[in-house]
Structure 1
Amino acid sequence: MQEPSAKHAAFVIERSYKHSPARVFAAWSDQSAKAAWFPKADEFEFRVGGRELNRGRPPGGGPLYTFDAHYQEIVPDKRIVYSYVMDMEDTRISVSVATVEFQTSDSGGTRLIFTEQGVFLDGHDTPEQREHGTKALLDRLGDALDS
């Protein structure tokens, strides 16, 4: 049996979108808009204290992953803070707090700042993998906003 371990890490990702903070915020806060770039939620209650629950397998199959988030703070068009756990089948692989900030850029678009602080458990996931996956999701967000 593998010895339990916990790796603590934080990362920050910045993206610029040509759309207003209100439009980018709506892509996070509206269930149908979010489903255009983030896995479709089994539960979606966008409010402080609300829950977002997503379950799915990677393309081509593999283990079932569960994203179980709880919204801690919401400032419309400005900030979202949520805490979440990620499970692979019945194994907890991480616990995180994420902050998404929406700032108006000089061009009138949005400067998005995504900060995640997490603990990655027993080598089942790594900060590098999570950061890579989050960057891909934020790229998909940009594609969804532009379409």
Structure 2
Amino acid sequence: MTDRSVEHSSFTIERSFKATPVEVFRAFSEPAAKERWFVNVEAGAQITHDFRVGGRESGRFSVDDGTTYYDDTVYLDIVENRRIIFAYTMTQNDRRISASVATVDIQPAGTGTRLVFTEQVAFLDGLDKLEYRRGGWEELMGALAKELGEAVAA
């Protein structure tokens, strides 16, 4: 059995988009748009949506044939076209690996948007790491850019 432990960490990812704050917010709030960039439903991933304060979202996906991830999200604060705050837990093959609070800060920047994503995370029992979580969100930001019709930085 793995020793019980918790490691706290946080990270921030900043991106600039030509898309307006309305378009960026829509990519998070509209189920069809979020499915296109957040999960790969064509590869068998599943997601449920209830985008409202107190609403829940859950997703199940696999990165290989043997590892399944499940996230359970609750929306804590939503300010249309400006801010989304949510808490979520991540489970790997039925073992809880983390609990997080994340903020999506959508800031007008000229005719575009500056997005600041900040996550505060508790990694549980040594089953996940900061570099994995940050890397996953970096990939998601690239997919979001693509959803918004923007070139993805290499």
TM-score range, shorter chain: over 0.9
Residue pairs, 1:105-144, within 5 angstroms: 105-106=109-110, 108-144=111-147
Count matched residues: 145
Partners of 1:15 and 1:34 in 2: CA distance = 17
Partners of 2:24 and 2:143 in 1: CA distance = 12
Which residue of the other structure, out of 70, 77, 80, is the alignment partner of 1:66? 70
Deviates more, 1:12-21 or 1:37-46: 37-46
Residue pairs, 1:38-117, within 5 angstroms: 38-39=38-39, 40=41, 41-58=46-63, 60-106=64-110, 108-117=111-120
Partners of 1:128 and 1:89 in 2: CA distance = 20
**TM score, norm. by length of structure 2:** 0.91
Partners of 2:112 and 2:47 in 1: CA distance = 31
Q: Percent identity over the alignment?
A: 45
For structure 1, list consecutive stretches of 5 or more residues without a partner in the other structure. none
Partners of 1:62 and 1:32 in 2: CA distance = 27
Match for 1:112: what amino acid?
L
Match for 2:86: what amino acid?
Y
SS in 2 for 1:35: helix
Partners of 2:103 and 2:125 in 1: CA distance = 24
- Structure 1 runs (4+) greater than 2 angstroms displaced: none
RMSD: 1.1
Match for 1:42: what amino acid?
I
Match for 2:75: what amino acid?
Y
